[in-house]
A and B are shown apart, each in its own frame.
Chain A
């Protein structure tokens, strides 16, 4: 990947929680300006931690970047405060649809706009409603009571209200019906293309992620173990086997114990 036009460069980042638990063991990722990059991996691989390290939310959980650096727009931000990072244009959409339950949908969006200039809040709302017409219908309802898909839309919309340059999307598909997942991913793709917002997408739904992001990194045990264009990755035998569940073109059965004898070669 060309390094010249990267909006975000993570170089060899190491993260420790409570000063002892080593969670990330040297992660390097680059997100091109206006591009979309997927970060894949199993539970506990360190994907969310990577996002939190970028957005600064790590500090609220007593985590810290102990080595390496995170460079955004040519400046190192891994010691900056979360509020400052958000102000500079990086917004993280936390996993699990964390809407402000007791506020209405529109108030949720307005909270996202709290750093904006007064006049531009309306423009922002218009933009969000343009991409998420459903939110317009539900704008005066209490966010805690709208459906899961609408909550996810509200959360993404809320992030858009901050006028971000880079959105860190953490598992937008979690717990949603396939129809809704497609709807949301279509919108995300549109946002990436039309608004030129760079996106770093964390996803467990590997198949889906590889179809919408042109480039992907694979994480395991706090390390990046592979990175390539999505096309190549989806052809890769290991990826097929371990993440897409269709290695060798033959349907595998869990009764087939030999299946487990195959090691992930990249792990040392």
Chain B
């Protein structure tokens, strides 16, 4: 039973971080219809940038905050340099560009930070687990979860209540109509990339805190894809629920299935689940089915 609750809490907490990364996917897809396959690298860059700031002796929170700022800058730059001239081209071409971008960034990361596993030193959070009843939660998970949730709330409020967020949603709905009201598509795309960079980056930093930073953090970024698809590619709440769901699946399968299928069953289960799930709900949980009026 203890094992069950352990998996449950860890699942939810890691899921919170996945949700953050998933938000990045959803945003770019929602606003521009592009599946950003470089998302894993965005996650990785975030992890390394936070690490570098932390190494300079800054407090972790400040490092995360600065990572957010770097995320904005990189997001705008990426959009301007690589994607701006592709506005209006076929979506597939743009997706291929993100694949190229992924390789490019991977190379850049290797060049800048090398391929050794880096660990946050001294460790950011207390190693001693906090006990709540029979549960033992490691502070890394708890704080990461809290930070992820806070950021998620901030982003969701941004979409719901600010004019920029609303105009981004409007562009996702009908680009021409948004343009006729003076919403600049370029701005919306840049903003989407900036936010994607921010959320993925912080997600990466948090994940890096748990297992150390190496190229596999990037794969974790990709692992979030099932979360996104589950939630429905263009639903923000869907991304959050999907993220937590994937976290749970991963941890439960790690706990209970690993003895039968030794090896990476943890990594595969989310994808299997996604495939089966999509058979029954092809739009995901809350994806847009076209609103048809009768």
B167, B179, B180: which has the most chain A beta carbons within 10 Å?
B180
Count residues on chain B whose CB falls below 8 Å from chain A CBs.
23
Q: CB distance B291 to A86 under 8 Å? A: no
Stretch of A67-75, A107-115, A179-187, A200-208 that contacts chain B: A107-115
Chain B residues whose C-beta falls within 8 Å of the C-beta of A100 in the assembled complex? 169-170, 173-174, 177-178
For the complex with contacts A60-B176, A112-B181, A159-B180, 14 further pairs of A-B residues with Cβ separation under 8 Å are A57-B180, A60-B88, A82-B182, A83-B182, A83-B183, A85-B182, A86-B180, A91-B182, A94-B177, A101-B291, A103-B166, A111-B170, A114-B163, A114-B167
Q: Which single member of B174, B175, B181, B288 contacts A114 (CB below 8 Å)?
A: B181
Per-residue 0/1 for B164-200: is the Cβ within 8 Å of any A Cβ (1 yes, 0 no)?
A: 1011011011111111111110000000000000000
Chain B residues whose C-beta falls within 8 Å of the C-beta of A94 in the assembled complex? 176-177, 180
A113–B178 Cα gap in the complex (Å)?
Answer: 11
Does B128 touch A at the CB level, under 8 Å? no
Does B85 touch A at the CB level, under 8 Å? no
Rank and list the top 10 A-B pairs by shortest CB-CB distance, nearest first. Answer: A86-B182, A144-B291, A100-B173, A98-B177, A114-B163, A111-B170, A83-B184, A100-B170, A92-B180, A114-B167
Q: CB distance A82 to B163 under 8 Å? A: no
Q: CB distance A55 to B169 under 8 Å? A: no
Chain B residues whose C-beta falls within 8 Å of the C-beta of A159 in the assembled complex? 180-181
Per-residue 0/1 for A214-239: is the Cβ within 8 Å of any B Cβ (1 yes, 0 no)?
A: 00000000000000000000000000
* Beta-carbon nearest neighbor of B169 in chain A: A103
Count residues on chain A whose CB falls below 8 Å from chain B CBs.
38
Chain B residues whose C-beta falls within 8 Å of the C-beta of A112 in the assembled complex? 181
Chain A residues whose C-beta falls within 8 Å of the C-beta of B163 in the assembled complex? 110-111, 113-114, 121
CB distance from B294 to the nearest CB of A (A): 11
CB distance from B180 to the nearest CB of A (A): 5
* Beta-carbon nearest neighbor of B87 in chain A: A60
Q: How many inter-chain contacts with C-beta < 8 Å in the A-B complex?
A: 91
Given A107-B166, A111-B166, A114-B163, A162-B179 contact (CB < 8 Å): no
CB distance from B129 to the nearest CB of A (A): 43
Q: Which single member of A86, A102, A114 contacts B173 (CB below 8 Å)?
A: A102
- Which residues of A line the B interface, CB within 8 A? 55, 57, 60, 81-87, 91-94, 98-103, 107-108, 110-115, 121, 142, 144-145, 148, 155, 158-159, 161-162
A111–B175 Cα gap in the complex (Å)?
Answer: 12
A110–B181 Cα gap in the complex (Å)?
Answer: 11
A92–B180 Cα gap in the complex (Å)?
Answer: 6
Given A101-B291, A103-B173, A114-B163, A57-B183 contact (CB < 8 Å): no
Given A103-B169, A114-B163, A114-B167, A91-B291 contact (CB < 8 Å): no
Chain B residues whose C-beta falls within 8 Å of the C-beta of A99 in the assembled complex? 174, 177
A144–B172 Cα gap in the complex (Å)?
Answer: 14
* Beta-carbon nearest neighbor of B184 in chain A: A83
* Beta-carbon nearest neighbor of A111 in chain B: B170
Chain A residues whose C-beta falls within 8 Å of the C-beta of B177 in the assembled complex? 94, 98-100, 155
Q: CB distance B181 to A145 under 8 Å? A: no
Q: 6 A-B pairs, CB-CB below 8 angstroms? A: A57-B176, A86-B181, A86-B182, A102-B288, A103-B169, A111-B169
CB distance from A150 to the nearest CB of B (A): 11
Chain A residues whose C-beta falls within 8 Å of the C-beta of B164 in the assembled complex? 114
Q: CB distance B174 to A98 under 8 Å? A: yes
